[in-house]
Structure 1
Amino acid sequence: MRGFLLITGLLLLFAVEILRVYFIMPFPGSQQSNTIDVAYWLGKNITWLRILGLSLVLWPSLQIFLTKGKWKKIFLAAALLLYVVIFFFINFRFEADKMFYQPQSKIFASGATNKIADNKLVIGVAINGEAKAYPIQLIGYHHQVRDTIGNTPVMITYCTVCRTGRAFSPFVNGKPEDFRLVGMDHFNAMFEDATTKSWWQQATGVAVAGPLKGKALQELPSQQLTLAAWLSLHPNSTVMQPDTLYQKDYDDLADYDKGTIKSSLEKRDSSSWKFKSWVIGVAYNNNAKAYDWNKLVETSMIQDSMPGLPIIITLEKDTASFHVFSRSINGTVLQFEKNNDGISLRDINTQSIWNMQGACIDGMLKGQALQPVQSSQEFWHSWSTFHPATEKYEK
């Protein structure tokens, strides 16, 4: 009986510590299954499970140390020491918010004085006349940056393992909320709010576990493009600068933008429709569609329609900055073709000329602009996981 209690208690202690982190971190096999509810239950009941495990271990351990031989004492001491080591590393080294920190100081510079190269990718957000750019190399490490744009609180997020950049309003139930990085589910970052301890999915802003399960954060319009392209659209934008405390972490993501990073979780599949192939995802009125990045690079323009939404996707000359627009102007759906210069478009309806940023620069519609459609560039595994009914554009 004594041996049974000891073994059961040790197994419980080891299991709850390891599985609590295993289910929400990118360990082999941990991200393919729907185990989020189990992980959440373990996380919220870990204290009671530890007390139960220690209670089962305490009496037989005392008996062994008081009465048994040397080798049993050594083996038991080694097992307990191993548990202490695992407890320390899992709770103080392997938890997500112990590995990735928010910036200690947020410094923004004008486009002319900033230290970020023009060809680096940024997540750009413009609200109430104020624009800010957040380099992916920086926020990819931090995972989230809290800020204010145009007197509006924002939560800028990025998950490098999904290649997903999103901007959210941090308000929950009408109040600004604090979030911490808690782990990941299906390779996507999750945040825990401080008030209800619910877990929120970064790719969708939806709470996937906890009291607020099913609720969603409000997504704010954002763009992914090069800093140069963003500044051409918003010349007065400020740009987030590196926090020198995390320079080594930023350096580790130096090749992330181009997908040539060494990390197997973050490196791009260069062929199409593979696990980590790049796609552009568009979701509209409960419909979702994915567009192959390689196809866009090949053509520089994709023209398509989703239910209720005629769209055009354009790629700038830098082959990194993309835009998605509605093709509807004043109730008329425009049909586009490439212009002879190769860097602008012509609508067949009026023969007006449009740049790749969606502005009409010559012709009958000069001065008009196409309406942006929220979209994202991400890994195919991410888009297809979080939009399981997505359609693939394969023309």
Structure 2
Amino acid sequence: MSAGRAAAAGVLVLVLGACASATDEPAAPTGEDRSPTSATSDSAPGGEKPPSALDDPAHPDFPDPLIDLDDLLPGGPPPNGIPSIDYPLFEPVAEVDWLDDDEPVLSLTIDGRTKAYPIRIMMWHEIVNDRLAGVPVAVTYCPLCNSGVAFERIVAGETTTFKVSGQLYADNLVMYDRLTESLWPQLTGRASVGALTGTRLESIPVGAVGWGQFRDEHPDARVLSRSTGHDRDYLTNPYVRYDDPDSEPLFALPADPDSRLPVKARVVGVGEGKDAVAVSRDVLADRGVQHVEVGRDRVVLWHAPGQVSALDAREIPDGAEIGSVAAFAAEVGGRALDFARAPDGTFRDRQTGSGWNLFGRAESGPLAGEQLTAVEHLDTFWFAWAAFQPGTRLVPGGRQTARTSRQRVGERLE
């Protein structure tokens, strides 16, 4: 057994042990900091539930699946063995004293309201069913892909909640909705097996940043509480050394890995299909700023120190420094802007010399107070991005032609 595969096997043992008692269901809390999901109907239109893809993914009543069912693999824990958080509680930023400055949190903003979802909690639950600015959202994190994604949890015109199916596709979290129990790979946001096959969720930009970075930018925001109703050690990482670049994914991928980068290389990906482009995180960290063309749109990516890996050390605060990344439309008010990293680590546009912070807000110069528009991006491992975006461009250079087998995977997901 290779060192990488042996390490992966050790991680699997830890994860299965951690999830073995994870079927406990919390009571619905009360109080103003609860984000209620009780308004959710979780009943199918017409009041009759279709067959469940959890029970029989090959049911003859289902549309043709978007993925090969042979590539839908059991991850170990059963459905709901990794329990979603359905009644989340939140704390004011000023009262949080249990996060280190460089610990990763997912930052989500809707209509000027912002919440933080610490990765130390997310990795044990993977899905938080929440509401923000009146919008029902599912905030998700897949540790095996290191991918944070947020969606509106509305399908077929109905608000629902999402759960962890226990299945994996390309080592990615497969969710299911309680409305129809269709299966949704996190990295597509599209029902791929079941009654709702082909239905796509509305995604919302979300990104991982260091806690100190979030706290300084959003002092009035709220933070997901450790009071989840579940007994977990939220300081520890059950996936120790999982992000070792010499290690391998835990389970078989649907096709041969794209060899342009090591499978566990960290990348930032934007766009999809023929417009998909990925930038190596190492390249981005070195340059600080990278402009990319995504179809007809121009996007700027940037990197700043201040975040550790949650998938490295046994205790998350001891993880290796990896920095934070962000993605924005490279314009304000229709005016195109070019950016560069300033000597002080902030970002400046060449057109006006205004200074911008990691969150896309101009802090100085003629454009002070302006806000760049966040762009959906994935801060993930290369194997995950390439599996779901098989025709992706890679910056800089690299072979641009994907293998036929990977193209077939991509076609099923289109």
**Structure 2 residue matching 1:245: 3-state secondary structure:** coil
Partners of 1:360 and 1:368 within 8 A in 2: yes
Greater relative CO, 1 or 2 (CA 8 Å, sep 6+)? 2
**Structure 2 residue matching 1:209: 3-state secondary structure:** coil
Give the distance between the partners of 1:312 and 1:357, measured in 2 at CA.
12
> What do the CA deviations read for 1:33-82 (whole angstroms, capped 9, x no partner)?
xxxxxx95973579xxxxxxxxxxxxxxxxxxxxxxxxxxxxxxxxxxxx
Give the distance between the partners of 1:276 and 1:261, measured in 2 at CA.
5
**Structure 1 residue matching 2:232: 3-state secondary structure:** helix
| Aligned residue in 1 for 2:172 | 188
What is the number of equivalent residue pairs in this alignment? Answer: 308
RMSD of Structure 2 on Structure 1 (CA): 3.3
Structure 1 letter corresponding to 2:185: Q
Match of 1:230 among 210, 214, 227: 214
When residues 277 and 334 of structure 1 are mapped into structure 2, their CA distance, relative to the original with a 3 A threshold, is same
> What do the CA deviations read for 1:296-322 (whole angstroms, capped 9, x no partner)?
122222233333222221212325221
| Aligned residue in 1 for 2:161 | 178
1:345 CA displacement:
2.9
| Aligned residue in 1 for 2:184 | 200
TM-score by length of 2: 0.66
Partners of 1:170 and 1:176 within 8 A in 2: yes
| Aligned residue in 2 for 1:8 | none
**Structure 2 residue matching 1:302: 3-state secondary structure:** strand
When residues 253 and 354 of structure 1 are mapped into structure 2, their CA distance, relative to the original with a 3 A threshold, is same
Structure 2 letter corresponding to 1:100: I
Q: Are 2:84 and 1:102 aligned?
A: yes
1:141 CA displacement:
1.7
| Aligned residue in 1 for 2:315 | none
Moved more, 281-290 or 383-392: 281-290
Give the distance between the partners of 1:356 and 1:42, measured in 2 at CA.
45
| Aligned residue in 2 for 1:112 | 94
1:245 CA displacement:
3.3
Give the distance between the partners of 1:107 and 1:41, measured in 2 at CA.
29
1:166 CA displacement:
0.8
Partners of 1:281 and 1:291 within 8 A in 2: yes
Structure 1 letter corresponding to 2:348: R
Give the distance between the partners of 1:377 and 1:320, measured in 2 at CA.
11
Partners of 1:224 and 1:376 within 8 A in 2: no
Partners of 2:244 and 2:264 within 8 A in 1: no
| Aligned residue in 1 for 2:146 | 163
Partners of 1:272 and 1:292 within 8 A in 2: no
Partners of 2:54 and 2:181 within 8 A in 1: no
Name the one with the larger helix percent. Answer: 1
Match of 1:247 among 201, 217, 232: 232
TM-score by length of 1: 0.69
| Aligned residue in 1 for 2:126 | 143
Partners of 2:54 and 2:183 within 8 A in 1: no
When residues 346 and 107 of structure 1 are mapped into structure 2, their CA distance, relative to the original with a 3 A threshold, is closer
1:261 CA displacement:
11
When residues 343 and 146 of structure 1 are mapped into structure 2, their CA distance, relative to the original with a 3 A threshold, is same
Q: Are 2:309 and 1:309 aligned?
A: no
Moved more, 102-111 or 236-245: 102-111
Gap regions ≥5 residues in structure 1: 1-24, 27-38, 47-90
| Aligned residue in 1 for 2:350 | 348
When residues 284 and 362 of structure 1 are mapped into structure 2, their CA distance, relative to the original with a 3 A threshold, is farther
Task: Work out the percentage of aligned pairs sharing the same amino acid.
Answer: 24
| Aligned residue in 2 for 1:275 | 263
Give the distance between the partners of 1:44 and 1:194, measured in 2 at CA.
15
Q: Which has the larger radius of gyration?
A: 1
Give the distance between the partners of 2:151 and 2:54, measured in 1 at CA.
26
